[in-house]
Chains A and B, each alone.
Chain A
Amino acid sequence: MDPLSAWIADWKIPIGRWGRDFFDFLTTNFAWVFDTLADVLASILDAFVDLLLAVPPILLVLIVAAIAYALQRSWKLAIAVALGLLFIINQGLWKETIETLVLVVAAATVSMAIGVPVGIWAAHNPRVYKVLRPVLDLMQTLPTFVYLIPVLILFGLGAAPGLIVTVIFAAPAPIRLTYLGITSVPQPMLEAGQAFGATKRQLLWKVELPAALPSIMAGLTQCIMLSLSMVVIAALIGADGLGKPVVRALNSVNIPLGLEAGLAIVVLAIILDRIARIERGSDR
């Protein structure tokens, strides 16, 4: 190495050590906060899993198919959903599928609960967006394995850290799409709201959010898909679900198991995507 580069390398900035010190500080001083949070999250997720597993699988299949029909008004979709779920029962992956489903729905719910208000805030406040944008880029580009480690240290193994990494990974999508939806509301519509005396809150609820709804719903479907793609990675830190058999298959080079679990994930993804896709018939 040339002397200059060697000199530069000698003065290595101890970013890694700082990070470790920071997380050490958190674990020594706030361990109880993270432990309690992990316990609460885990018990909530477990409770939902137990509840769904208490229902006979066939009955649940019918219920999900009914929901699909209620939301999309399509017999074809309802039948396809039922067939997909029956396939999963057939493959003996029902318990894992329910665990994954609960994790994904929980992660998507939390991501939307964070993402939509933050997106609205950023849309109304350019300065907030300026700060937010690099943070979102960081959340989406930082390799997931990198924040898997600190989350593992803080929350231990289990469903709770799985939920948290999934939210970190999925939340930027609804934030961005909500921001996009709100900022692209046509100016004349906003002016119509103002001209008829809308308060800021009325403008948000009666003009901005309805106008941004298609974009926000696209955020929801993206959020669900991103959560599903985290299933396998979450399994690495002990989250139950369809990721576990995949990881196990990888470790033991078990092609049949990997194929079965992989297909189950695909089936679940398609079902969730089709059910959650809300297209407004009245619009445009």
Chain B
Amino acid sequence: MTTAVNFQQVDILFGTDRQRADALPLVDAGKSRADILAETGAVLGCAGCDLTVERGEISVLMGLSGSGKSTLLRAVNRLNTVARGHVTVHDGDWQADVVTCSQAELRKIRRECVAMVFQQFALLPWRTVAENVGFGLELAGVPARERTERVMAQLELVHLTDWAGKYAHELSGGMQQRVGLARAFATQAPILLMDEPFSALDPLIRTKLQDELLELQDRLKKTILFVSHDLEEALKIGNRISIMEGGRIVQTGTPEDIVLRPENDYVRDFIANVNPLSVLTAWNVMRDVRDLEAAGDGWMWLDRRQTTRFKLDANMLVIDAERNGAPAIWVSCDNMEKMPEDRPKVYWATAGTPLKTVMQAMHQSQTAPVALFDEASRFVGAIGIRDVLRAVIRR
């Protein structure tokens, strides 16, 4: 993996020069935003933020309003000035520190490396959809003919070709934000900053645009830094999530990390209302094969109640199965619908199978445990009903 954006000990302060200088020692002392405001008059935006965004991943900055997530995002293209620390932007072999770079370098970053999508769309109302999409290219001095071509390609990507000549106010909110997306894609910048892009949309359109974004991301492989206050959204689209509170990053991790291993009470409260079924996979809840009880003679119990057992060969491949003392078959839970009800069977899943599917498989097989196979069909673990329950209620 290569780094696309790297934040190093980033502090952001708002206020006069004097106030900001006074505030820095308090930031070092770990004082809270309220204390710093009361003592110096400076408003703490971010403090000591460290974050690495890898190329091609979607990294979500997550927090309540006022947690500093947008502030940190906007440091990447210097819409906010960093008081201390470094924000390095990488584009291929080229790199620059946004905090210290020259105006010319900053323009290069803004025109070629980093594009932005805004919460309130920020389209220019006197320009048509096509002219809005071509805005960045126009600023960068791309000749009119090439611009038109690239604009039409982007409009096709977001399904707005028929609307090219319309003005922004003639479009619905969802369409306007697709124009915002197309404008950002048009510059072909490898890094995308998205500042709560879907928050101003109604829930149905929001879900649809999230899906569209994920679909586009599959094809375009951008590096996306995404700000959201909606945990469901963060869990859905993020490869990595950073939870922020009061200008500081509290925890960074994969969606499962955040849900299964919250680092403190703040994060725990945050995830309290999240539906674990939307995040967890079979891998997150299984008991490893080494923790399972042996049943003698090469057999191994899959569940604590000892209703189901597998016989394994030396390569950990299943060669025989038994359920409630009778021979059983083992089948993938991808084929659940096609299976006849009559024969005793044990379903198997893979690491990425959603927990929801695992639960369906249990239901279908009269609460039999579900086995977990790796890509070479080797047995790696099992999920009993108690493992599922524990994950859902989080202990």
Contact = CB atoms under 8 A, between A and B. Distances in A.
B115 A196 contact: yes
Contact of B122 (A191, A197, A210, A280): A191
B177 to A, nearest CB: 13
Given A189-B124, A202-B139, A195 B77 contact: yes
Give the interface size bracket for B toward A.
Answer: 20 to 34
B107 interface: yes
Interface of B is mostly: mixed
B139 A282 contact: no
Given A195-B116, A196-B110, A196-B115, A189 B122 contact: yes
A154 interface: no
A188 B122 contact: yes
B226 interface: no
A258 to B, nearest CB: 45
Contact of B138 (A206, A282, A283): A206
Given A188-B120, A195-B77, A196-B187, A284 B125 contact: yes
Contact of B79 (A194, A199, A213, A282): A194
B126 interface: yes
Contacts, number: 69
Interface residues of A, number: 22
Contacts of B283: none
Contact of A211 (B106, B115, B126, B140): B126
Given A192-B122, A206-B139, A282-B167, A199 B107 contact: yes
A207 interface: yes
Contacts of B122: 186, 188-189, 191-192
Contacts of B114: 195
Contact of A195 (B115, B126, B138, B169): B115
Nearest to A186: B122
Interface string A174-198: 0000000000001011011111111
A192 B124 contact: yes
B118 interface: yes
Nearest to A192: B122
Interface string B121-152: 11111100000000110111000000000000
A195 B80 CA distance: 11
B55 to A, nearest CB: 21
A278 to B, nearest CB: 12
B311 interface: no
Contacts of A207: 124
A199 B104 CA distance: 10
Contact of B140 (A189, A197, A210, A280): A197
A197 B125 contact: no
Contacts of B169: 284
Interface in B171-205: 183, 187, 193
B208 to A, nearest CB: 23
A198 B114 CA distance: 13
5 contacts: A191-B79, A194-B79, A196-B135, A196-B139, A206-B135
Nearest 10 pairs of A and B residues by beta carbon: A197-B110, A197-B111, A188-B122, A196-B136, A192-B122, A195-B116, A197-B107, A210-B126, A282-B167, A198-B139
